[in-house]
């Protein structure tokens, strides 16, 4: 199995045109096997671009194709409205890879979704997306690095380390169920606990790699969930061990104030929760190889 998306997922790509990033990634996702059924562009409704029918709105695309997932790759100024348009059309799963969305816009959209559209899950923004190996790829992850068949699920704040972790597993012959890049902005639509709960409920995911980074308290919340709700082994890596306090490192959410949000604090919380904590991505892959080797047949 997989979480959130699979081979039956029907994807509408918002913001598609002959020269757009949306089209570039839509074609890559389609080549992987993802069921890309539609695109949207208010100025190009009725066109067909590279075999993808284009509609003027998400509502029209959903009505015509039954799309149940959206992929948003539009500029920061238009991304908040695009997310809400998908929610208003009843799309249950929305992936937004757009970066540089102002934090106050992210907070407003998140609050609106929680209040008015509880049936819509947002992944991102500023994330690599999601890949259910061999079934569907929505976002910018290179499908070539993934290996289908499980038994490992992945969830990560860092995009780059996410790719490396998938590659490390594949190089060791360890398949993946689903990899979820939740993004590193301050207000992600989907967090660690959401993904850990889904992996815990997925019978084909038998172990999980979780990749965190400095800043915020999401990893500590994840540690609490691991300790109280999970019986599957979890291997963790926290990026940013050498980051100085008060310095923003890469992601907008990766800022440390005093002792709050440090890599050391997160690692300690995860170790107390019973997770295996690696000191670099390669070690995380090695630890997971040992875990998989020890799983019951």
Say whether both 192 and 83 belong to one domain: no
User: What pTM did the predictor assign?
Assistant: 0.94
Cβ-proximal residues to 90 (8 Å cutoff; 6+ apart), any chain: 62, 119, 120
What total of structural domains would you count in the chain? 2
- Which DSSP category does 55 fall into? E
Say whether both 166 and 82 belong to one domain: no
Inside any domain, residue 165: yes
Say whether both 114 and 152 belong to one domain: no
Q: Does residue 249 surpass a pLDDT of 80?
A: no
User: Domain with 81 in it: what CATH number?
Assistant: 3.40.50.720
Inside any domain, residue 141: no
Instruction: Give the model's pLDDT for residue 228.
Output: 98
Say whether both 173 and 243 belong to one domain: yes
Say whether both 181 and 240 belong to one domain: yes
Say whether both 177 and 93 belong to one domain: no
Residue 72 or residue 264, greater confidence? 72
Single out the catalytic residue among 25, 104, 251, 279. 251
Tens digit of pLDDT for each residue in 203-226?
999 999 999 998 888 999 999 999
**Whose CA is closest to 237, among 206, 280, 195?**
280
Indicate if 251 belongs to the active site: yes
Say whether both 154 and 250 belong to one domain: yes
User: And the tokens for 79?
Assistant: 């991304």
Say whether both 119 and 174 belong to one domain: no
Instruction: Give the domain extent around 66.
Output: 10-123
- pLDDT bucket at 248, cuts 50 / 70 / 90: low
Q: Look at phi and psi of residue 183 and say left if phi exceeds 0, alpha if psi is from -120 to 50, else beta.
A: left
Cβ proximity of 228 and 197 under 8 Å: no
Tens digit of pLDDT for each residue in 125-143?
999 999 999 999 999 999 9
């Amino acid at each position: 199995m997989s979480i959130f998306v699979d081979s039956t997922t029907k994807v509408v790509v918002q913001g598609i045109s002959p020269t757009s990033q949306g089209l570039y990634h839509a074609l890559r996702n389609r080549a992987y096997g993802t069921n890309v059924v539609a695109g949207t562009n208010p100025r190009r409704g009725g066109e067909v671009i590279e075999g993808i029918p284009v509609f003027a709105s998400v509502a029209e695309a959903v009505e015509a194709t039954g799309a149940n997932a959206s992929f948003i790759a539009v500029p920061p100024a238009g991304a908040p409205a695009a997310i809400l348009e998908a929610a208003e059309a009843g799309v249950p799963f929305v992936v937004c890879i757009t970066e540089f969305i102002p934090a106050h816009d992210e907070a407003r959209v998140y609050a609106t979704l929680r209040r008015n559209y509880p049936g819509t899950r947002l992944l991102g923004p500023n994330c690599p997306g999601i890949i259910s190996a061999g079934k569907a790829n929505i976002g910018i992850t290179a499908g070539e690095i993934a290996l289908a068949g499980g038994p490992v699920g992945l969830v990560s704040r860092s995009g780059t380390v996410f790719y490396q972790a998938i590659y490390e597993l594949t190089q060791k012959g360890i398949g993946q169920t689903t990899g979820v890049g939740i993004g590193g902005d301050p207000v992600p639509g989907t967090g660690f606990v959401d993904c850990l709960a889904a992996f815990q409920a997925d019978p084909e995911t038998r172990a999980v790699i979780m990749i965190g980074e400095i800043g915020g308290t999401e990893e500590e919340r994840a540690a609490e969930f691991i300790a109280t709700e999970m019986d599957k082994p979890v291997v963790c890596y926290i990026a940013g061990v050498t980051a100085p306090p008060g310095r923003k490192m890469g992601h907008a959410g990766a800022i440390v104030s005093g002792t709050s949000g440090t890599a050391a604090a997160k690692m300690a919380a995860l170790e107390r929760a019973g997770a295996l904590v690696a000191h670099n991505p390669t070690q995380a892959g090695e630890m997971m190889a040992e875990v998989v080797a020890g799983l019951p047949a």
